Amino acid sequence: MIVELISVGTELLLGNIVNTNAQYLSETCAKLGLNVYYQTTVGDNRERMTEVFRTALSRADLVIIGGGLGPTEDDITKDVCAELMGMPLVEDPEVRAHLEDWYRQRKRTDIPDSNWRQALVPEGAVVFSNTNGTAPGLALEKNGKTAILLPGPPNELYPMVEDQVCAYIQKRSDCVIYSQMLKICGYGESKVEEMLLDLIDQQTNPTIATYAKTKEVHLRVTARAESEDAAKQLLKPVIKEIKKRFGNAVYTTDEHENLEDVVVRLLKKYDLTVTTAESCTGGLIAGRIVNVPGASEVFNEGYVTYSNKAKKKILGVSKATLKKYGAVSEQTAREMAAGGVFTTDADACIAVTGIAGPDGGTEEKPVGLVYIACYMKDKVKVEEYHFRGNREKVREQTVIQALDLLRRSIIKNYKKD
């Protein structure tokens, strides 16, 4: 099924808000095995909207439109679509009742007449209820074409898609589509593609799609079959082969699990505690760990030792080491990690020191040079990285690699074959 996504709103064109809906809908379509060929953003202008909608309907089986369903005069998505598809607007009693109940619960009596426009729906359209707002979602079907209209606010669009729209689309598919995500750390997108090129070229069902993230690559493997069980069976050998090629670099096959979730899960599994000793990341690693519910079971304290004085005072880094090798060095990272364990009596410590930039770099130690150390079982593993990008990017990459070093260290020291 060919899909086209349209985002409506002049505020999107002006850059007043970030278009997170487009990203979310693209990922959802990929999960459903749908082919998105075009994405368009259009302002609240009837002539331009008509042109964009007409073009989309001419080249896609399904057009998903987000935004422009509110009660104000510039909310004309529904009007334009209904006119294009020849479906007159009629009042829907259930939508009207929902609006009345919505305003009554909020003790609203001064309701502008324009708000009741939201009770008008194209005749024959499928209505998706909106439990988080007033504008219903709609599906218009005519001449083999379908247009799905969704409210713009993400807190209304996301649950509507997950609770109603996905099921609507799947029911109209001629087969069951099932996908699984594999998340890989430690490889770039081009390297992953190179290692999987034979599988990607050979596979028409299942298909493999790669998505580049910061220091990660996510793979979505999607199969089509007559049943979900049959689709899962098609996925099994492909998933197995990918895991064989990348080994422990595949850190999860759970789409909703992040790297820090996996780290905390492993720490809990082996009854371990960890502390952090951070310089250039300024607490970002600790923040990612603490983001995980239940992190308090494995993380008791962490340190931001930005200055040399703090490294010496809190972590016990020797003055001689700092003088001879400098704050950004393998030796300092090693002593930071060891000091973190000895100071807190934790089972492990992840430590980072580096030059995030934009200043502070030299020919010998350029911006982007980072040392990451992990102390575990009386041994320290230190890795040297040369990251590229601005200050924010260098720090972000450092966090990912630090969490991954911790993950790999736990697996190496505690996982039994």
Q: Tens of pLDDT along 326-373? A: 999 999 999 999 999 999 999 999 999 999 999 999 999 999 999 999
Helix, strand or coil, per DSSP, at residue 181: strand
Quote the percentage of the chain above a pLDDT of 70: 100
Give residues with Cβ within 8 angstroms of 272, minimum separation 6. Answer: 266, 298, 347, 348, 410, 414
Token digits for 21?
Answer: 């809906």
Q: How confident is the model over 302-323, as a mean pLDDT?
A: 98
* Closest residue by Cα to residue 208 from 175, 174, 246, 170: 246
More confident residue, 298 or 29: 298
The pLDDT of residue 169 is above 60: yes
One-letter amino acid for residue 205 of the chain: N
CA dihedral 123, 129, 132, 137 (to 10 degrees): -40
Q: Mean pLDDT over all residues of the chain?
A: 95
How far is it, in rounded angstroms, from Cα 240 to Cα 128?
A: 39
pLDDT of residue 42: 98
One-letter amino acid for residue 409 of the chain: S
Q: How confident is the model over 146-161, as a mean pLDDT?
A: 97
Q: How confident is the model over 168-176, as a mean pLDDT?
A: 84
Residue 40: pLDDT band by 50, 70, 90 thresholds? very high
The pLDDT of residue 103 is above 90: no
The pLDDT of residue 225 is above 70: yes
pLDDT of residue 32: 84
Helix spans in 110-227 (H): 154-160, 166-171, 189-202
- Identical fold between 2-171 and 176-252: no
Q: Rounded to the nearest 5 degrees, what angle is found at the Cα of 336, between the Cα atoms of 332 and 342?
A: 140
pLDDT of residue 110: 80
Give residues with Cβ within 8 angstroms of 111, minimum separation 6. Answer: 103
Question: Around Cβ 120, how many Cβ atoms within 10 Å?
Answer: 17
pLDDT of residue 358: 96
The pLDDT of residue 33 is above 80: no
pLDDT of residue 289: 98
Helix, strand or coil, per DSSP, at residue 96: helix
CATH class of 259-414: alpha beta
Region of residue 36 (left: phi > 0; alpha: psi -120 to 50; beta: else): beta
The pLDDT of residue 296 is above 60: yes
* Closest residue by Cα to residue 299 from 406, 388, 226, 384: 406
The pLDDT of residue 226 is above 70: yes
pLDDT of residue 202: 80
Helix, strand or coil, per DSSP, at residue 378: coil
pTM of the model: 0.79
Residue 417: pLDDT band by 50, 70, 90 thresholds? low
How is the chain split into domains, by residue range? 2-171, 176-252, 259-414
Query: Is the C-alpha dihedral spanning 62, 63, 67, 68 positive or negative?
Result: negative
Cis omega (within 30 of 0) for bond into 206 = yes
More confident residue, 157 or 211: 157
Fold designation for 176-252: Alpha-Beta Plaits (3.30.70)
**Least confident range of 2-11, 24-33, 236-245, 306-315:** 24-33
pLDDT of residue 234: 95
pLDDT of residue 31: 80
How far is it, in rounded angstroms, from Cα 181 to Cα 218?
A: 7
pLDDT of residue 402: 98
Report whether 86 contacts 142 (CB < 8 A). Answer: yes
Question: What CATH code would you report for 2-171?
Answer: 3.40.980.10
